[in-house]
Structure 1
């Protein structure tokens, strides 16, 4: 399996002069970026990010710490993806942010794209759902992008069209998307539902030959059993009324097949039963010499 890569903006811009400690941390971030982008030493890049995140514990300025932390996490995510260690990305991010609803929007966007790329959107579903439901995140700049990625790369690939529609037309969607965006999202959801129905029909058709073969085998066995029963009971027709004989054959047929006359698949069985009952009628009502020949 090739290493999954994700792109992200890990440029960190500060509006105020940096202290010596902050400059050192920024140098570490640049070193991690060079190891990742220039030298392709993904393991070294990740370990630099780890050391940088540990050093951030002593940083007091909240804004500086937040920017540097996001930068180290973005580079670290890319390094883990290149190392094919993507299953541990989300847990690693949670480890440094504590609560999943506190993950920055741009980092959560990267996680969604990464897990979608490797075909595991379910791994990030719960974390994204919790993040979107947190009222403090609704005013963030990247909130709408997270909601869009969640819809397109998590809910729809998982065929959760009901949840996708609720996301779009619910209170969250009305507060997040414009009317035009909502309509576009509804069109996408409806298209996905049509494609899902088409896939279901294709899957049923692919299974039909095997089912038809099984039904045909069972039909031959039941037909043979009924013919044998017919021959045995023909000799005793003088002792059993004919209508009871027909009723017994019908009950036997229904019990063996548990036939539901409403189902389209039952038409073949009902037709075959009708033919057999007509044969039994001809045998029972025909002259003796014809019954013996049959």
Structure 2
């Protein structure tokens, strides 16, 4: 940020710098001698404005531009009381850091004020606000209303600004359409990917269902005595229970009883499958 704001102000921007070198020197002397900024800004309106200009540049160079507007309003209370030079510098600053929305309400309040319309810089500040705040934010209707209601512009100037607004609106619309088209393509690609994944998942579930059905049919064809014996042996292997141990006999007896109860409750005599040896 260092030095960029000053350079921007010298590239033919609407309002010119004041020939206020003496005021700046006086303001600097007050700060050096008294080290009291609040007292220095009370000395005169011109000195106050010059000190605020210096303060804005200092904050910008220290990359503390977020504090600029609130800091300036400490000394001017409301946006309508900002000097044209201070307002100009704030608009350029926040435009430079791509935060024009900060000045949206401030600039609108200043331009609507009837007292400010008598300033000789009103037309140039309106142009600055239009080009650096309203148009970058896509506020085209507000921009047209501002141009048509500005008495400081003659008919030719108004038509020039209205053409500029129309051109920027067309550019904005084209960009929005391109952005929407890109989003639609992304959504279509995402739907394609999801569709492919869904199809793969459905195929996988179908294969799992078939495998389970095959295993189930195979399970019912197994001899029940062999199946029960295999289950019991598997338990012994997993738990490592010693069947010869006296402590294991009650558990084995209970296990056999549970198998018999399950057999009797699940299969009726009419539908009980034959036990194969």
TM-score (norm 2): 0.60
Q: Which residue of 2 aligns with 1:128?
A: 107
1:70 aligns with 2:69: no
Report if the CA contact (8 A) 2:24-2:50 is conserved. no
For 1:256-271, list aligned pairs within 5 A: none
Shift of 1:147: 0.6
> How far, CA to CA, are the matches of 1:74 and 1:111 in structure 2?
9
Q: For the pair shown, which has the larger CA radius of gyration, 1 or 2?
A: 2
> How far, CA to CA, are the matches of 1:186 and 1:211 in structure 2?
37
Choose the corresponding residue for 1:191, options 144, 153, 167: 167
Report if the CA contact (8 A) 2:27-2:50 is conserved. yes
Q: Which residue of 2 aligns with 1:93?
A: 72
1:179 aligns with 2:179: no
For 1:106-117, list aligned pairs within 5 A: 106-117=85-96
Report if the CA contact (8 A) 2:91-2:132 is conserved. yes
Shift of 1:215: 4.8
Choose the corresponding residue for 1:54, options 36, 39, 42: 39
Report if the CA contact (8 A) 1:4-1:114 is conserved. no
Q: Which residue of 2 aligns with 1:84?
A: 63
- Point out where structure 2 has 5 or more consecutive residues left out of the alignment: 10-16, 203-277
Shift of 1:91: 1.0
Shift of 1:214: 4.6
For 1:1-294, list aligned pairs within 5 A: 2-3=1-2, 5-7=4-6, 9=17, 11-12=19-20, 27-30=25-28, 51-57=36-42, 59=43, 65-169=44-148, 171=149, 173=150, 175-216=151-192
Report if the CA contact (8 A) 1:29-1:49 is conserved. no
Q: 1:207 to 1:69 in 2, by over 3 A?
A: same
- Point out where structure 1 has 5 or more consecutive residues left out of the alignment: 15-24, 33-44, 60-64, 226-294
Equivalent pairs, count: 190
CA deviation string 1:145-174 (max 9, x = no partner): 1111110000000011111111112x3x2x
Compute the RMSD of aligned alpha carbons.
2.9
